[in-house]
A and B are shown apart, each in its own frame.
Chain A
């Protein structure tokens, strides 16, 4: 058990809809990362928050947004969903803000999003 909790585990929705994925980091971790995993693209970095502030940004679409709340949990909002957004979405946490020497990431078990 990594200590990172993601909800829901599965989500099925229709194109054009909006969903919110939730993540509670491991106790004591200040950084939260969001990754998207698909068969063809692998694990793609979306965005990182550290102690409530955006720290690093990857290939995150404009239709996607995230935030980290004062209690350090994070939400990833996906809107105007398309079929291609179907994927596994992982949240990970780490103790520090990250950098050249990244601290190990602790991953949740993911949310499987299916867009129909």
Chain B
């Protein structure tokens, strides 16, 4: 089972539309990170959210961390073709073998002109 569930899996929209993608878990996280991955490249960090209920804005991107720190959302306003990519959420999870940053499977976003 996936620790972090992301939805939707795929999203195809036209330039100028708004969208929201979700990252959900049954586990509580001390922090969540959002990354964007473009084809042929590695993921690049967008933001880290730490406090329950926190909202962070990065230009047209708005990130929210749930009050219970189990879920997060990413809202994009007036999407542009340059927003196309795979959006991944990640949270640190401890185990007997140490802490590791676990990723969701991602939301693949395509924005067409």
Contact = CB atoms under 8 A, between A and B. Distances in A.
Interface stretch (A14-22, A54-62, A66-74, A77-85): A54-62
Contact of B101 (A2, A105, A108): A105
Interface residues of A, number: 28
Chain B interface helix/strand/loop/mixed:
strand
Q: Interface centre among B31, B50, B92, B95, by most A CB within 10 Å?
A: B92
A102 B2 CA distance: 19
Interface in B91-113: 92, 94-95, 97-106
B42 A4 contact: yes
Interface residues of B, number: 27
Contacts of B68: none
Contacts of A55: 98
A42 B106 contact: yes
12 contacts: A42-B103, A56-B95, A56-B99, A90-B42, A98-B99, A98-B101, A102-B31, A102-B33, A102-B99, A107-B41, A108-B42, A109-B41
The 9 closest A-B pairs by CB, nearest first: A107-B42, A56-B98, A42-B105, A57-B97, A43-B103, A100-B30, A104-B45, A102-B92, A45-B100
